[in-house]
Amino acid sequence: MTTPEEKTNKSGGSFIVTAVVLLVLTALAGGGGWFVGMIAGAKNSEEASEAREQAASTETGEDEDAADGEAEMASGVVDPQILTLAPITTNLSFPSSSWVRVEVALVFDKEPDPTLAELIHQDVMAYMRTVSLPQIEGPRGFQHLRDDLSERAVIRSNGRVSKLLFRTFLIE
């Protein structure tokens, strides 16, 4: 039989072993995190320096193609077949105090039609007013919303619009 003093010694020894194992594992985890951070930090610093160089060349006028690209983005047409619509801000059906802001772009098969795009814009706004917050919560709800709006755009355009792309989506 073991005496109470022997039980105390055994549990005290196992506590020390457990504490040492935890300290070793913590040190290994910290070292691994530091190593991964150094690798990621080096990669990010290279990307940041490249971005700074590109911004500096744009400011000095060396990169005229980038300036042309910025002008195209400001006008709403990046690709000749993509037309960015004006932002839509409206309230949801439930709760009516929730607001949604959506910016979408339409991908046309051929030349974009601004009149058709305006009809689709109005259709998207009308549809967003019928949506409730629980319907669009989570990734599955957002996917259903995206599919519904894309389908409505294709139907409204008789197939001239092949896709509806979300640029921003904000619920308040």
Report the pLDDT value the prediction gives residue 171, as an integer from 0 to 100. 93
Report the pLDDT value the prediction gives residue 80, as an integer from 0 to 100. 79
Q: Is 80 helix (H, G, I), strand (E, B) or coil?
A: coil
pLDDT in tens, the chain (172 residues): 556 555 555 555 788 999 999 999 999 998 888 888 777 776 666 666 666 676 666 555 544 554 454 444 444 545 678 999 999 999 999 998 999 999 999 999 989 999 999 999 999 999 999 999 999 999 999 999 999 999 999 999 999 999 999 999 999 9
Pick the CATH number of 76-171 from 3.40.50.300, 3.40.605.10, 3.40.30.10, 3.30.479.30: 3.30.479.30
pTM tops 0.75, yes or no: no
Tokens in use for 38? Answer: 């150094």
User: What's the whole-number average pLDDT of the chain?
Assistant: 81
Q: Which parts of the chain are beta strand (E)?
A: 82-84, 88-91, 99-108, 161-171
Report the pLDDT value the prediction gives residue 67, as an integer from 0 to 100. 47
Report the pLDDT value the prediction gives residue 144, as an integer from 0 to 100. 95
Report the pLDDT value the prediction gives residue 32, as an integer from 0 to 100. 85
Percent of the chain with pLDDT over 70: 70
Domain spans, the chain: 1-75, 76-171
Is the dihedral angle over the CA atoms 156, 131, 103, 122 positive or is it negative? positive
Residue with tokens 């792309």: 165
The amino acid sitting at 106 is: L
Report the pLDDT value the prediction gives residue 51, as an integer from 0 to 100. 61
Q: What is the number of H-type helices and E-type strands within the chain?
A: 5, 4
Report the pLDDT value the prediction gives residue 59, as an integer from 0 to 100. 54
Integer distance in angstroms from the first to the last C-alpha of the chain?
Answer: 70
- CA separation for the pair 27, 48 (Å, rounded): 31
The amino acid sitting at 65 is: D
